[in-house]
Chain A
Amino acid sequence: MNTEKIAAQALKQAAERLTPDFRQDALSAGWPADIVFQMTVEENDGNLYLAYPNSIADKVQNLEYGNFEQAPNPVIRRFIRSHTDGLDDIFESAFEDVASELGAFN
C-alpha cells in the first residue's frame, strides 16, 4: 500500500474539483473571463498551486494586489483561506481510506 500515491491521487482529484470553484469565485469578484479561464488549480509533487501562463502573470498580480490604477481584488488569497479546511478533509479522507484498506477498522 503506497500512502504517498493515494494522497497524491486525492490531491489530483481535489485540484480538478477546485478549478471550477476558483473560476466561479474569480468571475463573481469581477475578474475578466479571458484571464480566469486561463487559470487552473493543479497538483505537482504533493502540492496544490494555481497555474497560469506567464503572458497573463502581470494582469493576475495586478488584479490580486492592485496597482496605481486599481484597488486589490484578492480572489486568490480568499480562495486559499476558504479552502484550507477542505484540504485537511481531503487528506483525512484519503488516509481513512488507506487505514480502511489495511484493515485498521476490522
Chain B
Amino acid sequence: MKAPAFDYVKPKHLSDVFALFAKYGDEAKLLAGGQTLLATLNMRLSEPSVLIDISGIEPMRGISVNGQMLRIGALATHSEIEESSVVAANAPLLSKTAPNIAHRAIRNLGTIGGSVAYADPAAEWPTCVVALDATIVVQGAAGERRIAAGDFFVDLYQTALQTGELVTAIEVPVKTAREWSDFAELSRRHGDYAIAGLAGCAQRSANALSQVRLVLLGIGATPLRAKRAEAIVEGAPLTDALIEQACAALKTEIEPVADLTSNADTKRHLAGVLLKRMLTNAARGA
C-alpha cells in the first residue's frame, strides 16, 4: 500500500523539535530510522500530518564512554552498536544481542532510541536496557529528565515519555570486572520477532550470581523482570536443583500473552527453557 500524505520537516536543533511538537501535538510523529514507522505508514495503520525527521540532530548521535558511563546516542543505529568496539568492551550484552535484531538492512537504519521509544514487547533493546539497569535520557521543552530503564516501560507500546518529549540517549553503567551477561531468544526464523527471549545481567563470584536481573521479552506487555526467579538465584550456588527451582518460580510469576501460533502455556514453557539454558551456561562459566 502507499502511505497517506504527510508533511515532512527536518530540524537541526532540539528546540525546533519542541516547537513542532507544540504546534502539531499528536498529529506529528518522529522519524529517526523509520524501520517501524514507515512500515505502519505503508499499511495506513496511522495517518500523521507531519513527520519530524530527527536524524539531523547531532547531539543525539555518537557512542562514547565518560567515566563509568557508556553513553549511546538515541540515533545510534543497531549496526553501529553491533560494530562498536566501545560497546563490545563496555556493554557486551548489547554486542551479543544486536545480531538478533531483524536483518542487516534494518539494522543499518533502525535506531536504539526508536526501539526504546516504540517499546514493542518483542523488541530486544528494551529488554536489554532493563537488564543493564540503564538510564533513559529524555528531553522536552521543559528540560532533560533521566528515567531508570526499569521505570520507563509502562504498558503495551507505552513508555514514561510525556507529550513533547523524546529519547535523546541511553546511559549504560560500564561493565564491571565481574559482570556476567547473556542474551538468548527463540524465533521460528532467523531475524523474526522472537516468541520469547531473555536477557540476563549480574555480578558473578565463584558459582553464584548476585544483583541478578533476568528480563523477558515477548512474554508481557513490557520487558518483564522475572523477580521470583531472580530472588531464588540471588547469591546462591548455581546447582541443577537451584536452576530447576528458579525455572519453576518463573513459570508461576508470568502470565504470557499468546500470539498467533504460540499460546500462553507454550510461551510459559519456552521462557522456562530459555532460563534453564542460560543459567546452565552461566554455571559452566560460559
B is a partner of A: no
